[in-house]
């Protein structure tokens, strides 16, 4: 079953990790519903498919909620487990990895486990799904490709340093930025490296791809644009005199590239040459990655505040103080934004309809 164009089936919305929603979102948002867990919390980003929100908590329970009203549709609890990253959806199946490195394939209808695969290492990265393969990076420096139908390993690629980014797929290659200070391109069919490029520092930021270019930042505070076909640097720039680390993934569209650094500053760059367009201070550290929806970019912070900022001008349009800590990134689909916090509350924001009397 293919996903609808307005769905959010992967951690960054698509296989390119663009962080761009397929439809816009109103700046006049309110809380449509929220669900609060009794004991656990949310660190993982949700995915949204065909009117259902799928998300796991960090104590090992995976949930399916109705997008319209937050009704619990089903849940599955896995002992000695925990989910820190998003699941992935493809062909009616949910693929989710716990922090122990166990990959599970769940039936979307009821959460039944169809297969599981135990990797040899912990994993703190969301999977990608492409061309019949579940792609997963491991803390031990491995990239695995598993068969979506059986869970059997198709190939394994390894570097001599941790891999913490999510796999990005561009034109038949898996692109990774590693903690070995290199950018890697791996053939998705065979698992062999086809090209590599030295970068200035280690990174766990996921590369975001657009129009043949790949964008990501490093621990040194350098932000790269790389031509995917040739693996050559298109441009690079430092976002800070002090080299603040860039750990989040960028949201990329043809108007601008938007990313936070670890110094409480969000930056927008021109995708053609890396020139600065605007900056926005969030007055808090940001571990989440931004998401663009129409003319707005949505920015969660570790102090539990969610901002909506104009993509072109950097002007603040809206904010909401939820409290707690946001480590998850927004998932946006069908005119709604879903995000959970570490305190265990899952929020759904959307445009509230006015009553007939105008109130």
Q: Return the CATH number at 255.
A: 2.130.10.10
**115 phi/psi in degrees, rounded to 5:** -160, 165
Q: Which residue has the higher pLDDT, 149 or 81?
A: 149
Per the structure, the count of domains in the chain is 1
* Two tokens, residue 102: 């166990």
13 in a domain, yes or no? Answer: no
* Mean pLDDT, the chain, whole residue set: 94
Q: Name which of 79-88, 235-244, 266-275 the model is least confident about.
A: 235-244
CB contact burial 92-112 (16+ within 10 A = b; e otherwise): ebbbbbbbebbbbbbebeebe
Q: Which residue has the higher pLDDT, 239 or 227?
A: 227
325 in a domain, yes or no? Answer: yes
CB 310 within 8 A of CB 319: no
Could you give the CA distance from residue 265 to residue 89 in angstroms, rounded to a whole number? 32
Q: Is the dihedral of CA 327, 332, 335, 338 positive or negative?
A: negative
DSSP string, 261-285: -TTSEEEEE-TTT--EEEEEE-SS-
Range of the domain at 83: 29-348
22 in a domain, yes or no? Answer: no
* Two tokens, residue 316: 């603040």
Could you give the CA distance from residue 173 to residue 167 in angstroms, rounded to a whole number? 10
Beta strands in 101-244 (DSSP E): 102-107, 113-118, 128-130, 133-137, 142-147, 153-158, 168-170, 173-177, 182-187, 193-198, 208-210, 213-217, 222-227, 232-238
Could you give the CA distance from residue 293 to residue 351 in angstroms, rounded to a whole number? 14
278 in a domain, yes or no? Answer: yes
pLDDT above 60: residue 354: no
Per residue in 170-179, pLDDT (tens digit) is 999 999 999 9
- Least Cα distance to 231 among 275, 272, 276, 176 occurs for 176
Q: Is the dihedral of CA 178, 184, 185, 189 positive or negative?
A: negative
Q: What is the pLDDT of residue 284?
A: 86
- Least Cα distance to 53 among 61, 43, 63, 40 occurs for 63
pLDDT above 80: residue 242: no
Could you give the CA distance from residue 167 to residue 144 in angstroms, rounded to a whole number? 10
264 in a domain, yes or no? Answer: yes
Could you give the CA distance from residue 302 to residue 342 in angstroms, rounded to a whole number? 9
What's the gap between Cα 4 and its chain centre? 18
Query: Mean pLDDT throughout 299-315?
Result: 97
Question: Which of the four pLDDT bands, split at 50, 70 and 90, describes residue 120?
Answer: confident
Could you give the CA distance from residue 300 to residue 320 in angstroms, rounded to a whole number? 9
| Three-class DSSP category at 177 | strand
354 in a domain, yes or no? Answer: no
Q: Name which of 147-151, 165-169, 282-286, 341-345 the model is least confident about.
A: 282-286
Q: What is the pLDDT of residue 238?
A: 87
pTM above 0.85, yes or no: yes
Question: Which of the four pLDDT bands, split at 50, 70 and 90, describes residue 2?
Answer: very low
pLDDT above 90: residue 359: no
Highest mean pLDDT among 98-102, 146-150, 239-243: 146-150
């Amino acid at each position: 079953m293919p996903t609808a164009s307005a769905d959010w089936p992967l951690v960054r919305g698509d296989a390119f990790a663009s962080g761009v929603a397929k439809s816009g979102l109103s700046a006049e948002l309110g809380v449509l519903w929220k669900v609060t867990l009794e004991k656990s919390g949310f660190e993982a980003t949700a995915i949204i498919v065909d009117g259902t929100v799928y998300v796991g908590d960090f104590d090992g329970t995976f949930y399916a909620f109705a997008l319209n009203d937050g009704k619990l549709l089903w849940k599955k609890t896995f002992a000695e487990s925990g989910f820190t990253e998003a699941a992935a959806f493809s062909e009616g199946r949910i693929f989710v990895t716990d922090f122990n490195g166990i990959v599970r394939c769940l039936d979307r209808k009821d959460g039944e486990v169809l297969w599981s695969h135990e990797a040899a290492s912990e994993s703190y990265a969301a999977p990608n799904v492409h061309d019949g393969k579940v792609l997963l990076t491991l803390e031990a420096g491995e990239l695995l490709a598993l068969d979506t139908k059986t869970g059997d390993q198709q190939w394994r690629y390894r570097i001599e340093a941790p891999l913490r980014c999510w796999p990005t797929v561009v034109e038949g290659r898996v692109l990774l930025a590693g903690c070995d200070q290199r950018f890697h391109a791996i053939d998705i069919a065979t698992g062999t490296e086809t090209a590599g490029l030295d970068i200035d520092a280690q990174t766990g930021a996921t590369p975001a791809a657009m129009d043949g270019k790949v964008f990501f930042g490093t621990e040194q505070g350098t932000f790269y644009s790389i031509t995917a076909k040739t693996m050559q640097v298109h441009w690079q720039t430092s976002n800070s005199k002090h080299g603040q680390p860039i750990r989040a993934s960028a949201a990329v569209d043809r108007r601008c590239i938007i990313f936070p650094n670890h110094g409480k500053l969000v930056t927008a760059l021109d995708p053609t040459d890396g020139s600065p367009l605007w900056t926005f201070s969030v007055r808090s550290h940001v571990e989440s990655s931004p998401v663009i929806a129409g003319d707005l970019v949505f920015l969660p912070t570790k102090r539990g505040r969610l901002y909506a900022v104009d993509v072109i001008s950097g002007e603040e349009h809206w904010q909401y103080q939820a409290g707690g800590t946001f480590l998850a990134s927004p998932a946006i689909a069908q005119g709604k934004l879903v995000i959970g916090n570490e305190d265990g509350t899952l929020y759904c924001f959307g445009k509230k309809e006015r009553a007939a009397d105008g109130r």
